[in-house]
Structure 1
Amino acid sequence: MDSPSQPPPDHQVVVEEAPREPILTLPWPLTAYVALLALIHLRVLLPPELENWTIDVFGFIPKRYDSSLVNLQFEGGAGAKVWTFVTYSLLHANLTHLAFNVLWLLPFGSALARRFGALRFFVFLAVTAAAGALAHLVTHEHAVVPMIGASASVSGAMAAAIRFAFVRGSFLSFSRSDADTAAKVPALPLFRALRDRRIVGFLAVWFALNIIFGVGGIGVEGDSAGVAWEAHIGGFFAGLLLFTLFDPVPRVRSHDAADASSQDISDGI
């Protein structure tokens, strides 16, 4: 019986492993968005009167929509009633405010940018910003302090990302894949996601940290500044509920999601 042929002694078989991309390398849409926030923040170098004008024109001021104020005029005119639903999210009070929002956005925004692609990602950020502004308007209809900050969009990105973040192979699972693969695992059905104790626990920590550190869209007038919690909630629920409209990845069936979740927990033991 012939024995299996063997390669010559000087022949070496080399098996190359596919490169494993770091999970938090930034896709270009997120890099462009962060660069835009940083560029816009250079407005703090403007003379005080111009900086204040920028806040008045592009910040979100609920009093602007008060129809009972016949003689009160705001900078920006009628157009500001439209664009400030989004533009307020591109402004920040100071470098710390900007840094907190960017740091919160990096893991969730990176996954969403890879999953959605550039156009969907930018539209999603705009929609969640508008939802946060609407929530702030409903609850602070007579406020004259401008609201600024990207936290409504950050909250929306986080809410959307948790729909798939803990699924086996995704970026917060025990057995995650490379960045692109991790961002494109099938998402959990909404009610299944809200029953996952890891997701519930994560949300509890997130809300607690928000309370402690005061991350959020804030006013810019000294002692009157405060955290716009309603904007956070508006952006969060918009991201959670509208995720399906933006998501190009096919849905996972409920029992498949349960199997994946159970397997992921087993792998982590």
Structure 2
Amino acid sequence: MNREPLFNVPTVVAALVAIMALINAIFQYALAPEQQELVLKLFAFIPARYDASIFPYPGGFAGNLWTFVTYSFLHASWMHFGVNAIWFLPFGSAVARRFGTWRFLAFFAVTAAAGAAMHLATHAGEQYPMIGASAAISGTMAAAMRFAFQRGGPLGMLRTNDEDAYRVPALPLSGVLRDARVLLFLAVWFGVNIVFGVGTFPSLTGGETVAWQAHIGGFLAGLLLFAWFDPAPDLPQYDDSTAMRS
């Protein structure tokens, strides 16, 4: 008997959530404040790293590279982690089933890096560290939007519960703004992102701010780079003439 999709989380998604939870537990309970600050300087994304006029950060050139991804495994609190996990489990699971483990891990890293790049472009020289998986999660939401609402897809009206639901033809970019369901999804995503500020980053002094530009960077990367990771280019092309209208 097949398990219900809600409880059938792919191993790669479950492993990423477990790693984030473990890191958060260590960060919150096992480290002294000065150690927490060092971890942030080593693994959070800090735009000031890339300003030659500011003092160097630990990690050097390698740190300048790895922090584009490692920041996504750190969270400001259990609430921050929990909200991200709630969003990541359904959307990450859908995309992981379609991409497979290694493509999904690469996709997670690329969308996290895209979020960091957008944050850097809009916060040049800033010393506040950005943490949280929201940019990569936004990328999975955008990627899921390309196939999840399609006929026979996991969120479509004629959905099925088998793996074929995650292998339906993807919606091309040209069709994204012509599908009412996708437009509704976009409206909800931007609304939630703006109003509730899903994903925050803490400053070294304890304040918090929403890194909404990083969310947009991750979302755009997931939407635009979907075809790079989609393992099914041989599937039939989406036929706009047979689309279910709503």
TM-score, normalised to structure 1, is 0.85
In structure 2, what residue type is equivalent to 1:212? V
Matched, 1:51 2:51: no
Shift of 1:117: 0.6
Deviation by residue 1:29-54 (Cα, 9 ceiling, x = unmatched): 11111111111112211122111211
Cα distance in 1 for partners of 2:171, 2:180 equals 13
Shift of 1:228: 0.9
Cα distance in 2 for partners of 1:85, 1:44 equals 22
Q: Greater Rg, structure 1 or structure 2? A: 1
Paired residues for 1:93-112 under 5 Å: 93-112=76-95
Closer, same or farther in 2 for the Cα pair 1:30/1:200, shift >3 Å?
same
Matched, 1:171 2:171: no
Shift of 1:205: 1.1
Closer, same or farther in 2 for the Cα pair 1:111/1:167, shift >3 Å?
same
Counterpart of 2:111 in structure 1 is: 128
Counterpart of 1:228 in structure 2 is: 211
Match of 1:66 among 51, 65, 77: 51
Closer, same or farther in 2 for the Cα pair 1:258/1:218, shift >3 Å?
farther
Which runs of 5 or more residues in structure 2 are unaligned?
Answer: none
Shift of 1:194: 2.3
Cα distance in 1 for partners of 2:82, 2:47 equals 26
Shift of 1:258: 3.8
TM-score, normalised to structure 2, is 0.93
Give the secondary-structure state (helix, strand or coil) at the position aligned to 1:253.
coil
RMSD across aligned C-alpha pairs, in angstroms? 1.6
Matched, 1:40 2:23: yes
Paired residue total: 242
Match of 2:163 among 163, 180, 186: 180
Cα distance in 2 for partners of 1:134, 1:62 equals 9
Cα distance in 2 for partners of 1:20, 1:234 equals 36
In structure 2, what residue type is equivalent to 1:77? G
Cα distance in 1 for partners of 2:200, 2:116 equals 10
Deviation by residue 1:161-182 (Cα, 9 ceiling, x = unmatched): 1000110111211121114222
Cα distance in 2 for partners of 1:171, 1:104 equals 16
Cα distance in 2 for partners of 1:32, 1:88 equals 17
In structure 2, what residue type is equivalent to 1:226? T
In structure 1, what residue type is equivalent to 2:237? R
> Greater shift after overlay, 184-193 or 111-120?
184-193
Closer, same or farther in 2 for the Cα pair 1:34/1:27, shift >3 Å?
same
Cα distance in 2 for partners of 1:226, 1:205 equals 21
Cα distance in 1 for partners of 2:172, 2:94 equals 18
Match of 1:81 among 64, 89, 93: 64
Cα distance in 2 for partners of 1:210, 1:223 equals 22
Which runs of 5 or more residues in structure 1 are unaligned?
Answer: 1-18
Give the secondary-structure state (helix, strand or coil) at the position aligned to 2:201.
coil
In structure 2, what residue type is equivalent to 1:146? P
Q: 1:93, 1:220 within 8 Å by CA — same for their partners in 2?
A: no
Give the secondary-structure state (helix, strand or coil) at the position aligned to 1:148.
coil
